[in-house]
């Protein structure tokens, strides 16, 4: 891995430490980190060039970048209790477009990577084959299938974000339930 790859990985780990305190559910937290980490893995593997050059990476990285700029700007200004209302609104409104955009990008990237690693000769490079000393097997392709199934949780997470938005932007309606 290059210095840039390590820097991106450090950013994900940094996000991990900050984000775990912000999410209401560990499942929501894990889902976000796993998605980002898998895309970083795809980006750093030379054999996955078709996924690296897909529109999915552009969508995901664009959504992540805008989200992170707004999020960390909001957090930084909140440290001084000077976060402008416009930044607060952006923090709790841009997700309506950026969250589905990022998830779509992640899904496209994962599916393209799956097509690339499906042949056994390529898949074996990313898997742990039996027999081995630990008597443990891991098939990266089927792991990605399970990850894709986890994306069915996206509507729940998206609804959670709307709940957070309502609590922050309209505190008087926080007692109302968002459907």
Residues with catalytic roles: 99, 106
Residue 128's SS3 state is strand
Encoding tokens for residue 157? 């997470």
Residue 166 backbone class (left: φ over 0; alpha: ψ -120 to 50; beta: rest): alpha
Is there a contact between 13 and 7 (Cβ–Cβ < 8 Å)?
no
- Going from the C-alpha of 122 to that of each of 7, 17, 21, 88, 133, the distances in angstroms are 27, 34, 39, 46, 22
Q: Please, what is the end-to-end C-alpha distance for the chain in angstroms?
A: 44
Q: How many residues does the chain have?
A: 179
CB atoms within 10 A of CB 156: 12
CB atoms inside a 10 Å sphere around CB 47: 13
């Amino acid at each position: 891995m290059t210095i840039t790859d390590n820097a991106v990985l450090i950013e994900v780990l940094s996000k991990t430490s900050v984000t775990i305190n912000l999410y209401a559910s560990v499942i929501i937290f894990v889902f976000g980190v796993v998605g980002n980490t898998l895309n970083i893995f795809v980006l750093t593997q030379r054999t996955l060039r078709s996924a690296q050059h897909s529109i999915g990476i552009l969508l995901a990285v664009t959504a992540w970048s805008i989200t992170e700029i707004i999020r960390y700007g909001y957090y930084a200004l909140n440290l001084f209790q000077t976060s402008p209302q416009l930044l607060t609104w952006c923090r709790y409104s841009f997700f309506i477009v950026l969250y589905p955009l990022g998830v779509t990008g992640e899904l496209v990237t994962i599916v393209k990577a799956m097509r690339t690693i499906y042949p056994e000769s390529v898949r074996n490079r990313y898997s742990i084959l039996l027999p081995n000393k630990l008597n443990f097997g891991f098939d990266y392709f089927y792991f990605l299938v399970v990850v894709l199934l986890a994306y069915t949780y996206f509507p729940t997470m998206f609804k959670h974000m709307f709940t957070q938005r309502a609590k922050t932007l309209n505190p008087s309606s926080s007692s109302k339930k968002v459907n």
